[in-house]
Amino acid sequence: MKIKDKSIQPRSDLAGNSVNNRILCSISDDEFQRLRPVLEFVELKQHRFLHDRSKNMSAAYFINSGVASLIVATARGRSVEVGVVGYEGLTGMPLMAGLRRATNSALMQIEGSGFRMKRDAFEQAVKSSPELRERVLRYSIIQTMQIAQTAACNRLHDARQRLSRWLLMARDRISSDIVRLTHEFLATMLGTDRPTVTIAAKSLQTMGAIQYGRRTLKIVNRKLLESVSCECYFAVRRYNPAVGLSR
């Protein structure tokens, strides 16, 4: 990752793993050095739950690469994505307020890596590290705005607009135009069914915005994709701390 913002410092954990998470790279060196012993580097495979809404959260995850989805599920088994987290943020923020559970689950949609901080260590860190606390709090507000905008998008805009919005949000967080996802996961993210996802993806392909395969979507014309997306992408992008950094 090439970092444009001079306030973001290149760092590594005690094992030498590169730290790309924006929050961890933006705090002072003194604070980061105090956190290094409690940062555990983990590979985050696709479909891995970082936390499940039915269970107590055991850790916070600072995403280093890849994309996690925040998913709300109903008692009847239907689910929809209400937010995404990339290298700009973290999951498990309710722990900051002493909460053990959330109304949503966090699931890796695009595999990557992260730094796990166990619950007790995270709760202590946000108490004793003022810069970390300020940045996590700011990110939580930004994420709340993203969740609200996504809820409106899922209700008011069609599947092609929502798919365009999601692909753009994913591209802002990864270093590739290729996104590997199944139809089932796309349907979950868009709050719809597989046939609707197929129609939306084929429409974008016919326009020349993407190339569409069974498990792969490739962005081939970002400007065209932006023209199709609803205003929700741009509303969320304005407050996305990942935008402005090139990877």
Domain boundaries, the chain: 11-153, 158-229
- Beta-carbon contacts of 54 under 8 Å, excluding residues fewer than 6 positions away, are none
pLDDT along the chain (247 residues), means of 10: 52 96 96 97 96 94 96 83 94 92 92 97 96 95 91 90 93 90 80 87 95 88 95 85 46
* Structure tokens belonging to residue 90: 């973290």
Say what the pLDDT of residue 2 is. 40
pLDDT of residue 49: 95
CATH class of this structure's domain 11-153? mainly beta
- pLDDT for 226: 95
pLDDT of amino acid 139: 94
Q: What is the pLDDT of residue 7?
A: 52
CATH architecture for the domain at 158-229: Orthogonal Bundle (1.10)
Token duo for residue 239: 């407050």
Give the per-residue pLDDT at 244.
44
Beta bridge partners of 13: none
Looking at residue 157, its pLDDT comes to: 92
**Residue whose C-alpha is closest to residue 150's, from 162, 158, 159, 140:** 162
Coil vs helix vs strand at 157: coil
Q: What is the pLDDT of residue 9?
A: 63
Cα separation values, 172 from 32, 65, 76, 192, 211, Å: 25, 11, 33, 23, 18
pLDDT at res. 242: 58
| Residue 207 confidence (pLDDT) | 95
